[in-house]
Structure 1
Amino acid sequence: MSQLVILNLGRGSWQQGFPSVTAQVWESGTTAPTHAPTQFTGSLPPAPEIPDLYQQWQLLYQALHRRLGRLNLGMRGIELDEMGVTNVSEADFHGISQQLKRELNCWLGASSFGKIERQLRTVLVPAMDLRVVIETDDLQLRQFPWHLWNFLEDYPQAEISLAVPDHKRVDQTTQRLAPKVKILAVLGNSEGIDIQKDREFLAQLPGAEVVFLVEASRQQLNHQLWDERGWDILFFAGHSSSLMGRATGEIAINRTEHLTIEQLKHALKAAIDRGLKFAIFNSCDGLGLAKAMADLNIPQLVVMREPVPDQVAQEFLKYLLTAFSGGKSFYRSVREAREKLQGLENDFPGASWLPVICQNPAETPLSWKQLRDGVEATKKRFTKDWFQTVLLTSIVVLAVVLGVRQIGGFQSLELAMYDQLLRWRPQTEPPDPRLLVITVTQADVQAQTERQGSSLSNKSLAQLLDQLEPLQPAVIGLDIYRDFAIEPQYRRLAEQLSQNQPRLIAVCYAGATDAEPGIPPPPNIPTAQLQQRVGFSDFPVDLDGSIRRHLLGQAPPEKSACQSQLSFSFLLATAYLQQHDPNLQIQWNPTDVRIGPTTFPAMESNAGGYQGMSNGGYQVLLNYRASNQIAEQLTLDDVLNRNQLTPDLVQGRIILIGTTDSSYKDFHQTPYSKNLSEQMAGVLVQAHMVSQILSTVQDKRPLIWWLPEWGEIVWIWVWALLGSVIAYHWRSEAAIWLAAGCAVLVLFGCCYGLILQAGWVPLVPPAFAIVTAAGILVIYTRVQAKQQ
């Protein structure tokens, strides 16, 4: 797992500054077109003193090594500058080094560039491998010691490399006959240096096949570079130097021949096309070589920025390849090897400044294992590891989520989100034209006398029925308990109730247990007609007091005063439907109720977001009508005193009569109740239930549906899998949580889209699964990074 930062310095100069600096962060550690980078912009101010400081550092470096007697003896360079500073001390060199570091960080700390650094810190993970590529053509910028940037101290797995702005990926072909890292080791002119130690170390590298060319001729080197089988690593030890202001360079392949990169161009291109991934020039002054090799699009190479003492070169090679062949990434290996050189600086000042990586940003550095086994074989193993990690994580998270869900851990949140989704539905359904609701308000109650505890007196009910009957309603539903006798002076009312003229359906209350006596039906309704003319008014109430379910029928408690088996809403709706279709068949089955061709599936105890719900009787989810008003409404005063009752409002309709006086405590929480003040009157809840049955049968309006249990398990697992993929795909924790948040938003959008189609699928459990899966893999990545 790695991250990649490409810092393009754009056009500019030390004198004028660099006005267009761009930093791109590639979370996948690769610039593959399937991955989009995060980009930040800024600028760098003029700093003409910095190149002068570096030039002084160079002169002091060479002068110090000359004074210590290591300049011409044991330096892997072709030619060194004999001019410059004399009588330099190590204190002078240390002072200029510290001054150069301060000036560099002062320059990079400019406010115009500081915002790039701050933004980088929001997306980069210190525990991950980080490659920071400085992309520039400016030769002075390329020779600058970028590893001194203080920013890198907070990222211990990071290393700096150089790149040219123009680069491309090379389609390489490799013939791998055996699992070996193929190394072509060119040991050039060894005059004054000991490269035998380099040879001995390379020969004992594990899993490597090394071919040595010792002071070979140009023809021999050319022949090996053209080898059809290709090479993984090109190694050079000997004398080298930069030319043309470090725009190119040359190597001494033997005591008499010096070759530039241009003279080896075709052979090197052939080697790169056939799989050459790395070049290591363990020789002096290699930035010119690096620039020329970069023009050939070599994936990676390491050079020394200045003349390098023989012992430093030997130790660096040992440190680098020991770490790399031991399983560390190429960049971490270079940083570790470079930092270990600091231990030699008593004898070789400036040694840790010398190694430089040059990178083709279009290429991703390979591991030693990938070089040895081949990229495709490693990809297959990576794909397998990726699949196993993601799959295992998603399954573990699924098991945890299902366990928490089984004990009801998500139910309250799930029901709350269900309510919210219902409230967010567009209120575009019109009021149900088949209903009229007549409400008895608090003012209506106070205006009546002789009410006998009921909100509607015998006198008012008689007057109301007398006005309704001539207008020919389809059916009248009286949602008011009337468990008292009718006075003799209201004989006509008693006859209307006993003879079902007009057609009238009343209510009783069954109660939940035998301990509740219930409320009996009106005494004037004949016992033989109770099952057809009296329905129970009981609502299935959830633990939070909300009504989300619709009870169609039940077996009442044995000792209840209300023995009606069908709900008030069901009787009203079916009475209306049978007037329109006298042959309508109603069938009660063990798992559903059928009204004509329409099926009402009975709820299961774990339907939707419920877990272990009491599902006695025949229950369905109540799909509240998405309307600001369920039906047209009049008050009792509107009917009896204001003459607002018209044939158009009554004829052929279901008339629901109920109280809205809060003193009768017939108000209920519903999904539309954000607080206690927004409770819905019982008669309006009954209206929604009647409307649901009518709309489902006549208008094909869907009932709220839910997935079967296995479908919900698959649904939750898919989102757990997505959370795992997100965490495994992205490397930055900030990007992971951003992507996880986006995934939760997508989940929310899916659930909202489904609720618009009357579908209720789990929302909270899969959201928890996404976050948990991502969190587990983030922690796993941290632990793995620490172990590495």
Structure 2
Amino acid sequence: MQKLVVLNLDGDLSQGIKVTLEIGAEGDRASIEVQGYLTPKPEIIADYELWRTTYRSLANFRLTPVSINVGSSLNEHLNNCRKLNNKLSQQMNSWLNCNSFRPLKEKLLKQLTLDDTVRVLIKTSDTWLRRLPWHLWDFFEDYSQAEVALSAPEYEYLPKSKIDIIKEKVKILAILGNSQGILIDKDRNLLEMLPDAETTFLVEPQRSQLNEQLWEQDWDILFFAGHSSSQEDGKNGNIFINKTDCLTIYELKYALKKAVSKGLQLAIFNSCDGLGLAHQLEDLHIPQIIVMREPVQDLVAQEFLKNFLKKFSSGESMYLAVRESREKLHGIEDQYPCAVCLPIICQNPAAVPPAWKDFFINPQIETSKLQVNKYRTPVQFWWRSVQVVLLSSLIITGLVMGVRSLGLLQPSELKAFDQMMTLRWQEKPDSRFLIITIDEADIQYQNRMNMNMRWSLSDQALAQLLKKLDQYQPRTIGLDIYRDFPVDSNIADLTNRLQKDKRLFAVCKVSAPLDGAPEGTPPAPEIPEQRLSFSDFVADDNEVARRQLLHLTPPLTSPCAAQYAFSLQIALDYLEAKGIKSYINPEGNLQISNVVFKQLKSHTSGYQQVDASGYQVLVNYRSLSSPQNIAQQVSLRDVLNDRINSELVELLKGRIILIGVIAPTTTDYWKTPYSAKVVPNQKLIPGVFVQAHMISQILSAVLDHRPLLWWWPTWVEGLWVWGWSLLGGILAWYIRSPLRLGMAGMIMLLSLSSICFGIFTQAGWIPLIPAALALIATQVAVVSRDVRNR
């Protein structure tokens, strides 16, 4: 099992150290936290300084060469260095076994097994504590799968980086700096032989060259070989990039930050005295850093690099690759004492150490080991990912279209239909109409005039109205008022008028075919059958009239036997006066001139479970500030009292006049797609205005080329939904960052809505809700599959 152990050290060797021990599984928050104390031990500093002085006097390093002046034989000096190292080890273990620290160590040992892979982070800002060779702690003797790293006590979580999903090569930027007095060609050869890697070498570069490379390209690994040094405080360092230029890390601050943001994960400084460099690099939040604790000799640096690259590139974890490569240096300590003490990892605690395969696959994806092992090549992995996206999109599309066919999406699709209907640009009222309205004031007016009221429009008022209208010479008069009673015998002229005026059309109501449904309303006895029509509307479950019923076959028991809708009869009468005929085309659809009124079926776009009996079409309402603004209006009493504007009188010749009741006491009120948008007292509009919209739709389509609402065949809708589902899968496969994927998803939903609305403005009703569901569901499916495979 992989474990993470963190020792937070607050203090120094002279004053004592407060210790917080944290233990948890790799990738999870610490499950155990224990407090302890390490006693002051200043003699460790003295022992380290003595060892350090002895070590640095031994030979030439990857530093300005130092002459040997020891005053005794070389072997004695080497032995002295080893003895000082052993003494330092004993002092450290004695210190780490003090009584105040022992409970922490016992807790640590209880939580680990010898087979655990353990990362031990030493969090401290104290220079001497960072210099100590922590690998000498006897804990690491027992736990062969454990390795230590240094960490700053303060750090930041890394920004999301890199958008690449899979690459063919690990990208390495290798800086070969000032090599005066040292041999770094071996470092270059080792990098050139590295498998699956693309290394760019900068040999003694200028600062501008190095800066440009860090800014412009995406690097996985940064490598440096050459002269370097750290200041005595251990917090600053220099690298000699050529024979004249010496840079601090902060002089490359912004370029290195850019490199980290674009995916830089590992920096290797195979050069001398790197703790000061590491401290500066930690401030820039580079995830992983490998440096040499002290000056290092050529052969030691080359041996460590050779062994580390071999183990790391073959699949070993970075920590264990460092430990094994470091311990292999023990074999050359007869000539290079204390070489094992030199390599050290410096770790940003917010980052997870990468494996070699992680450089090929975006670390945000964290693809499962099973996938990586099974699909070894990028092409195989790419093809497998394509298969996953295709299969997911096909399954999601099938599910969405299946759920849609059951009518479960119909309510949301109709709401989207209404929303798009109300967002369209404004149209002018239809100038072919005049609507004569009868409100409560008109009903009261008839009572005051002692007219014999049997309903909202008395016989006397109707007779006067028709006589007044004669002078305006209208083309068609539609009486959208039920008159299921004969004309008063005292008004014989009205009876004759209703029987013989071919311009006058009236309505009745057809009985519903279901048992127990409301019975219909008989027609006016005086109106001939050819000028009778039904006024029935079809409304959806939410009582919104979105469909226009043009024809039906009434039940035999219905008191109203009319087969054609009031709106159709009015429109056809108006068009016939212009010589325009209607007929049923070979496909069985109503055709007027060259305009086909496509019949609505039970499965039509958003309608998937609807009673489509009779002959129904979708209503393309005129987009107005209010549905009641469909045409100019005057009240009954204004007409009877000759209070019509003279300009309006001139416009009425050859027009359509509709007569209808708008008094609140009537039951003839309907919702439209605009009902959710208008003010509350206008959510329902009188039926005469709905009739006007329906008549206007027919006339505008034939005479003005205003489009009727259209839709795609089911198979085209399926392809459309599948396309968006596939797009969602591709996004989820390509963008694995949750935040960026969410933003991309929002952009795609906005684009989908814009496309659907743009087509709707051209009268096309295409699937919005199913496509949006497929887009989101496929994203979730692809991401969930990755999560399960982690």
Q: What's the TM-score bracket when you normalise by the shorter of the two chains?
A: 0.5 to 0.7
Q: How many residues align?
A: 579
Counterpart of 1:720 in structure 2 is 725
1:541–1:642 Cα change, 3 Å: same
CA apart distance, 1:608:
2.1
Q: Distance in 2 between matches of 1:773 and 1:80?
A: 65
The one-letter amino acid paired with 1:636 is L
Q: Distance in 2 between matches of 1:349 and 1:442?
A: 105
Q: Distance in 2 between matches of 1:336 and 1:160?
A: 25
Deviation per CA, 1:109-136: give whole Å up to 9, x if none. Answer: xxxxxxxxxxxxxxxxxxxxxxxxxxxx
**Structure 2 SS opposite 1:586:** strand
Counterpart of 1:125 in structure 2 is none
Counterpart of 1:148 in structure 2 is 152
**Structure 1 SS opposite 2:665:** helix
1:670 aligns with 2:648: no
- Equivalent positions of 1:103-252 (< 5 A) are 147-148=151-152, 150-151=154-155, 242-243=227-228
8 Å Cα contact 1:101-1:148 kept in structure 2? no
Deviation per CA, 1:617-641: give whole Å up to 9, x if none. Answer: 2111100011231111111111112
Q: Distance in 2 between matches of 1:58 and 1:308?
A: 22
CA apart distance, 1:75:
13
**Structure 2 SS opposite 1:439:** strand
1:63 aligns with 2:79: no
Counterpart of 2:344 in structure 1 is 354
8 Å Cα contact 2:476-2:573 kept in structure 1? yes
1:411–1:336 Cα change, 3 Å: farther
TM-score using structure 1 length: 0.62
From 749, 765, 768, give the equivalent of 1:744: 749
Counterpart of 1:592 in structure 2 is 589
Counterpart of 2:385 in structure 1 is 386
Of 391-400 and 565-574, the range deviating more from structure 2: 391-400
**Structure 2 SS opposite 1:489:** coil
Counterpart of 2:559 in structure 1 is 561
1:598–1:610 Cα change, 3 Å: same
Counterpart of 2:318 in structure 1 is 334
Counterpart of 2:35 in structure 1 is none
**Structure 1 SS opposite 2:471:** helix
Counterpart of 2:12 in structure 1 is none
**Structure 1 SS opposite 2:780:** helix
Of 686-695 and 464-473, the range deviating more from structure 2: 464-473
The one-letter amino acid paired with 2:634 is L
Counterpart of 1:504 in structure 2 is 504
Q: Distance in 2 between matches of 1:402 and 1:101?
A: 64
CA apart distance, 1:458:
0.7
Q: CA RMSD in A?
A: 5.4
1:606 aligns with 2:606: no
1:279–1:91 Cα change, 3 Å: closer
Counterpart of 1:43 in structure 2 is none
1:244–1:578 Cα change, 3 Å: same
From 646, 650, 653, give the equivalent of 1:651: 653
CA apart distance, 1:367:
3.4
Q: Distance in 2 between matches of 1:304 and 1:393?
A: 50
In structure 1, list runs of 5 or more residues that go unmatched. Answer: 1-55, 106-144, 162-171, 175-179, 181-215, 235-239, 251-260, 262-276, 291-299, 359-363
Counterpart of 2:572 in structure 1 is 574
1:313–1:74 Cα change, 3 Å: farther
The one-letter amino acid paired with 1:63 is E
Q: Distance in 2 between matches of 1:242 and 1:475?
A: 101
1:442 aligns with 2:440: yes
CA apart distance, 1:543:
0.7
**Structure 1 SS opposite 2:507:** strand
The one-letter amino acid paired with 1:472 is Q
The one-letter amino acid paired with 2:641 is N
Q: Distance in 2 between matches of 1:683 and 1:73?
A: 107
Q: Distance in 1 between matches of 2:469 and 2:407?
A: 49
Q: Distance in 2 between matches of 1:703 and 1:58?
A: 91
Deviation per CA, 1:432-462: give whole Å up to 9, x if none. Answer: 1111111111111222245554211111111
Q: Distance in 2 between matches of 1:460 and 1:380?
A: 85
**Structure 2 SS opposite 1:689:** helix
Q: Distance in 2 between matches of 1:287 and 1:432?
A: 84
The one-letter amino acid paired with 1:578 is E
Q: Distance in 2 between matches of 1:486 and 1:634?
A: 25
The one-letter amino acid paired with 1:540 is V
**Structure 1 SS opposite 2:520:** coil
- Equivalent positions of 1:359-378 (< 5 A) are 367=357, 378=377
8 Å Cα contact 1:284-1:308 kept in structure 2? yes
Residue identity (%): 34
- Equivalent positions of 1:262-301 (< 5 A) are 285=273
1:401–1:102 Cα change, 3 Å: farther
Counterpart of 1:206 in structure 2 is none
Q: Distance in 2 between matches of 1:437 and 1:57?
A: 106
CA apart distance, 1:738:
1.2
Q: Distance in 1 between matches of 2:150 and 2:305?
A: 19
1:352–1:301 Cα change, 3 Å: closer
**Structure 2 SS opposite 1:63:** helix
- Equivalent positions of 1:494-533 (< 5 A) are 494-501=495-502, 503-513=503-513, 515=515, 516-526=518-528, 530=529, 532-533=530-531
Q: Distance in 2 between matches of 1:577 and 1:522?
A: 25
Q: Distance in 2 between matches of 1:561 and 1:577?
A: 29
Counterpart of 2:535 in structure 1 is 537
Q: Distance in 1 between matches of 2:614 and 2:751?
A: 37
The one-letter amino acid paired with 2:393 is S
The one-letter amino acid paired with 2:781 is I
Q: Distance in 2 between matches of 1:378 and 1:60?
A: 54
1:465–1:230 Cα change, 3 Å: closer
1:710–1:320 Cα change, 3 Å: same
Q: Distance in 2 between matches of 1:399 and 1:76?
A: 69
The one-letter amino acid paired with 1:703 is L
8 Å Cα contact 1:285-1:304 kept in structure 2? yes
8 Å Cα contact 1:547-1:668 kept in structure 2? yes
1:584–1:75 Cα change, 3 Å: same
Q: Distance in 2 between matches of 1:452 and 1:349?
A: 115
1:353–1:552 Cα change, 3 Å: farther
**Structure 2 SS opposite 1:580:** coil
8 Å Cα contact 2:413-2:606 kept in structure 1? yes
1:60–1:81 Cα change, 3 Å: farther
**Structure 2 SS opposite 1:605:** coil
**Structure 2 SS opposite 1:671:** coil
8 Å Cα contact 1:439-1:636 kept in structure 2? yes
1:626–1:342 Cα change, 3 Å: farther
CA apart distance, 1:146:
8.3
**Structure 1 SS opposite 2:227:** strand
Counterpart of 2:470 in structure 1 is 469
